[in-house]
Amino acid sequence: MSNIDLTEAVEAAARGWFEDAPFAPPWDVLADGVKHRARETMLPGITAAAPVIEAAVRAQIVAEIELRAYGPGSSVVDAHSAGVREGLLLAASIARGES
């Protein structure tokens, strides 16, 4: 997995948890310590989920790229279309984390 910054995801999860809690005050009025503790609580779950989410996104990107490279209307008839396919295959390789 790449080294992705999970700061925004942790913040969103903490805010979302408070927004869904029936008797919690609004996020914006919480003390900084309460917000910090909420972020600390969310961090392990977000950290555990991140590689699964990244793998799913990468797989979806690869599938879309490969469909363009090999799908209907993707025949190689000249040097230009061969170059396009080569570029698409390189992009798929990068999306897989191979390059």
Q: How far apart are CA 13 and CA 31, in angstroms?
A: 17
List Cβ neighbours of 95 (8 Å cut-off, separation of 6 or more).
58, 61, 62, 65
Q: How far apart are CA 73 and CA 66, in angstroms?
A: 12
pLDDT digits (tens, 9 = 90+) for 53-86: 988 998 998 888 888 887 777 776 667 778 888 8
Centroid of chain to Cα 14: 18
pLDDT digits (tens, 9 = 90+) for 23-56: 888 999 999 999 999 999 999 999 999 999 988 9
| Neighbour-count burial of 14, counting CB atoms closer than 10 A to its CB (0-12 exposed, 13-18 middle, 19+ buried) | buried
Confidence (pLDDT) at 77: 67
Q: How many residues does the chain have?
A: 99
pTM of this prediction?
Answer: 0.69
Report domain extents, the chain.
Answer: 7-95
